[in-house]
Amino acid sequence: MTEYEKIVMLIKTEQLNTAIWVYDIDQSKIVWANTAALKLWNSPSHEELLSRDFKAGQSEVIKESLLNYKLAFKRGEVINEYWSFHPKGEEVQAFCQFSGFELEDGRVGMLVEATTSELISSNAEVGSVTILSIYQTDGKLINGSLPFIKYFGNKLSHLNELFCDHHVLEKLFVITSQNIKFEDDVRLKTMKGDQWFKIDAIETTQEEGNKAILLHLYDIHERKTIEQTLRKQAWEDPLTGLINRRGLTHHIEHNINNNIPFSLLYVDLDGFKMINDSLGHGKGDDVLVEVSFRLKVNMNKDDIICRFGGDEFILLIEHTLGDDTVAVRCDAILHSFVENFISIHSRDLTLSASIGVACYPKDANNFEHIIACADAAMYHAKKLGKKRWINYEKGMEHASKRISVISQKLSFAIPKQEFSLYYQPIIDMVTGNICSFEVLLRWKNEELGFVDTEETIQIAEKTGLIYEIENWVLIQALHDLVLLKKVINKNVTMAINISGLHLSDPTLVDTILQQLNKHHLQPKDINIELTERVLFTQINDQNNPFRRLVDNEINISIDDFGTGFSSLAYLHNIPATTVKVDKSFLESIDNNTVTLECIHRLVGALGMKSLIEGIETEAQAKTLFALGFNIQQGYFHGRPKPLEYYLSTDYRTIYSK
């Protein structure tokens, strides 16, 4: 602004409410003021105001501040601050803009434009009076302004007594001694307790040539408290009290911005969805709270634990751990899951977790990528059989990308007629005949080719497509059963796998009954295969369709027995007709038949049939037959095949062994 422009502006200001005056810093006198300034200074006339000597009442700290302003004006700076003035002993607060003004004799004066607090909002930042204080470079207080005394009392003698956090004070000393301005939000000890202040501190040289530290403080306590509450609300997962995804983003970005290496442990619960869907969300929530508790127990106090999503947790551990340390931490987490989670119907429920580990900066250097790496490693751990942890390796993320591709393509599989059904024979070893077929879903996508069935089912469960898909299977399988009965044997039945999710669908039983009716089939013509986890968790729920299946005389098989809860002691609680012993029992069949023998006897004693699946060799078939497993299924007896295969061959003779 040129001098001319300034004069024009000053004249114009007579019409403004803003109090404007020019102050001669060296003489401590106001040399020009507009009418509004008279009001602010509680002065009857220009003459009176211009005759006032401000030196008398001026504290050392104000004097020092003004000298610093003068230096700033010489550099062309403009200073905006909220000040308190004390005309005739009365306090007046105003938001001020201080700028340099060339006085008549060429010296630098100060142009002040002050808006009183009635005219400005009480925004905490702007509305905070500037609290001035000055110290010797060793921290000893020289002087504090009136607002300073109001906040901190008049007993304070050293900066040490002011700061809550001594690390911050040390930083202040170091930075100011290098002639750099120190700025931060800090907690200080006021007479009302610890409060937040915005601080800026500079080293200044006093008139006598001594160095001193000049502190400007602004009360931001209210704003900071509100901010912290809001942040807590926005960053916290209300169920577990852990930080949420947003909170984690902040921490990760902070570490990345400051180049602080860290490890991310992506923890995903195995089989949680089933618990949630079958036991209800209340119990599911209890489990999640317990999980968060166990994670906390295993972590150090500086580690960050986040509930990232439904049953996904992320642990952020600063400084990249060595492989050994990662192993110790992950093992501890996995081990903490060994203990029961909840007890339902006097049955203890255990859970497991899969963990993926990724490190910054080794594996990735931004938020999205590091999460994707840990997620991909976790997905890998799941694929390898869950209950384990895996370090991220390059290329793993392609697998998790695959999930989203599959999910997307799966939603079009029915309209695009990409599904087909394969039927695997189940043999009655006594007669040598096929007594049943298990229907198994097959999906061939034009780009993906055949997709693994278990993978398809898992993704269908995650995306909620499972209902639609299994209804399609049901309708098609019952239609095909009529044909199979014609060519194979009128007594053959159909075993249909139903997901635990679908079982909770109240319309499921009606759909089954409707389809049976449509094809003139009986309930005994089908067998619904449910995994033991589903059966166990839903057993005592009176409203569950599982009960309605039983009430409608639809047979139930316990599928994959031995892979989940597998407790023989609880079998008697389950009104199933058949127990399908999982193929994993066959791995040790050559040297240990005792377990299988025992299972067979106990299942028989409970009035159920035992079926063994996954028989691949003649030797296995014979051994198992000798143990009493009369009903068998496996590649040895027949691989799953499409309907057409059976329609073209007569199997009654083939299985007469």
The residue range among 217-225, 411-419, 516-524, 557-565 that interacts with Mg ion, by the rule CB under 5 A, is: 557-565
Q: Is 564 in the site for ligand C2E (CB under 6 A)?
A: no
Give the residue with the Cβ less far from ligand C2E, 43 or 620: 620
Say if CB 356 and CB 381 are below 8 A apart. Answer: yes
Q: Is 529 in the site for Mg ion (CB under 5 A)?
A: yes
Shortest distance (Å) from residue 460 CB to ligand C2E: 8
The contacts of residue 448 (CB under 8 Å, 6+ apart) are 405, 406, 409
Size of the site for ligand C2E (CB under 6 A): 22
- CA distances to 154, 194, 341, 526, 552 from 191, rounded to whole Å, are 10, 8, 49, 80, 76
The residue range among 45-53, 74-82, 162-170, 450-458 that interacts with ligand C2E, by the rule CB under 6 A, is: 450-458
Q: Is 559 in the site for ligand C2E (CB under 6 A)?
A: yes
Give the residue with the Cβ less far from Mg ion, 65 or 456: 456
Residues 483-522, one symbol each (x = binds ligand C2E by CB under 6 A, - = not), give: --------------xxx-----------------------
Alpha-carbon distance of 23 to 85, in angstroms, equals 14
Q: Is 623 in the site for ligand C2E (CB under 6 A)?
A: no
Give the residue with the Cβ less far from ligand C2E, 373 or 441: 441
Q: Is 634 in the site for ligand C2E (CB under 6 A)?
A: yes
Q: What Rg do the C-alpha atoms of the chain give, in angstroms? A: 39
Residues 525-544, one symbol each (x = binds ligand C2E by CB under 6 A, - = not), give: ----x---------------
Q: What is the DSSP letter of 641?
A: E
The residue range among 174-182, 275-283, 344-352, 451-459 that interacts with ligand C2E, by the rule CB under 6 A, is: 451-459
The contacts of residue 96 (CB under 8 Å, 6+ apart) are 80, 81, 82, 83, 112, 113, 114, 115
Show the tokens assigned to 219: 């009360």
**Residue choice 113, 277, 375, 560 for contact with ligand C2E (CB under 6 A):** 560
Say if CB 530 and CB 503 are below 8 A apart. Answer: yes
Give the residue with the Cβ less far from ligand C2E, 248 or 440: 440
Q: What is the DSSP letter of 552?
A: T
Return the H-helix or E-strand segment holding 33. Answer: strand 29-33
The residue range among 128-136, 176-184, 342-350, 495-503 that interacts with Mg ion, by the rule CB under 5 A, is: 495-503
Shortest distance (Å) from residue 468 CB to ligand C2E: 12
Q: Is 441 in the site for ligand C2E (CB under 6 A)?
A: yes
CB burial string 84-102: b at 16+ within 10 A, e below:
bbeeeeeebbbbbebbbbe
The residue range among 131-139, 303-311, 388-396, 492-500 that interacts with Mg ion, by the rule CB under 5 A, is: 492-500
Residues 594-613, one symbol each (x = binds ligand C2E by CB under 6 A, - = not), give: -------------------x
**Residue choice 559, 576, 643, 655 for contact with Mg ion (CB under 5 A):** 559
Helix (H/G/I), strand (E/B), else coil: 21: strand
Q: What is the DSSP letter of 477?
A: H
Shortest distance (Å) from residue 494 CB to Mg ion: 12
Alpha-carbon distance of 23 to 3, in angstroms, equals 16
Residues 41-70 that bind ligand C2E (CB under 6 A): none
Alpha-carbon distance of 240 to 308, in angstroms, equals 11
Alpha-carbon distance of 177 to 87, in angstroms, equals 36
Shortest distance (Å) from residue 304 CB to ligand C2E: 38
CB under 5 to 8 A by kind: which of ligand C2E, Mg ion, none does 457 bind? ligand C2E
Alpha-carbon distance of 262 to 484, in angstroms, equals 60
**Residue choice 279, 457, 488, 494 for contact with ligand C2E (CB under 6 A):** 457
Q: Is the peptide bond before 361 cis (omega within 30 degrees of 0)?
A: yes
Three-state helix/strand/coil letters over 187-237: EEEECCEEEEEEEEEEEEECCCCCEEEEEEEEECHHHHHHHHHHHHHHHEC
**Residue choice 91, 323, 590, 616 for contact with ligand C2E (CB under 6 A):** 616
Helix (H/G/I), strand (E/B), else coil: 80: strand
Give the residue with the Cβ less far from ligand C2E, 356 or 634: 634
* Listed residue (107, 103, 109, 100) closest to 76, CA to CA: 100
Q: List beta partners, residue 578.
A: 557, 609
Q: Is 566 in the site for ligand C2E (CB under 6 A)?
A: no
The end-to-end CA distance of the chain, in Å, is: 108
If 0-12 CB within 10 Å is exposed, 13-18 middle and 19+ buried, where does residue 522 land?
A: exposed
Return the H-helix or E-strand segment holding 550. Answer: helix 545-551
CB under 5 to 8 A by kind: which of Mg ion, ligand C2E, none does 477 bind? none
CB under 5 to 8 A by kind: which of Mg ion, ligand C2E, none does 441 bind? ligand C2E
Say if CB 61 and CB 78 are below 8 A apart. Answer: no
Q: What are phi and psi of 212, to 5 degrees?
A: -145, 165
Angle between helix axes 594-605 and 618-627 (nearest 10 degrees) is: 50
Q: Is 497 in the site for Mg ion (CB under 5 A)?
A: yes
The residue range among 59-67, 458-466, 485-493, 560-568 that interacts with Mg ion, by the rule CB under 5 A, is: 560-568
**Residue choice 43, 130, 133, 424 for contact with ligand C2E (CB under 6 A):** 424
CB under 5 to 8 A by kind: which of Mg ion, ligand C2E, none does 397 bind? none
Show the tokens assigned to 11: 């004249």
Q: List beta partners, residue 213.
A: 135, 203
Shortest distance (Å) from residue 581 CB to Mg ion: 9
Shortest distance (Å) from residue 466 CB to ligand C2E: 7
Shortest distance (Å) from residue 563 CB to Mg ion: 8
Q: What is the DSSP letter of 206?
A: -
Give the residue with the Cβ less far from ligand C2E, 181 or 639: 639
CB under 5 to 8 A by kind: which of ligand C2E, Mg ion, none does 555 bind? none
CB under 5 to 8 A by kind: which of ligand C2E, Mg ion, none does 470 bind? ligand C2E
Interaction site with Mg ion (CB under 5 A): 497, 529, 559-560
Interaction site with ligand C2E (CB under 6 A): 424, 440-441, 453-454, 457, 470, 473, 497-499, 529, 559-560, 583, 613-616, 634-635, 640
